[in-house]
Amino acid sequence: MATEHRPEHHAELQVESPMDYAQHEATYGAFLTAVKWAIIGTAVTLVVLYFLIKP
């Protein structure tokens, strides 16, 4: 028969520290700002290249 697993055989539950939501939101905001400026920069580059190299 299978052995029984009782709670006393397991280690104590370790509680992690709470998440720092303010820092998480600040990092996500910075990421979104970087993506926004990368898209804007790419669009500007494409427009400039279009006028420099006319087909």
pTM of the model: 0.61
Q: Do you know the residue count of the chain? A: 55
What is the tens place of the pLDDT at every residue in 17-51? 777 888 999 999 999 999 999 999 999 999 999 99
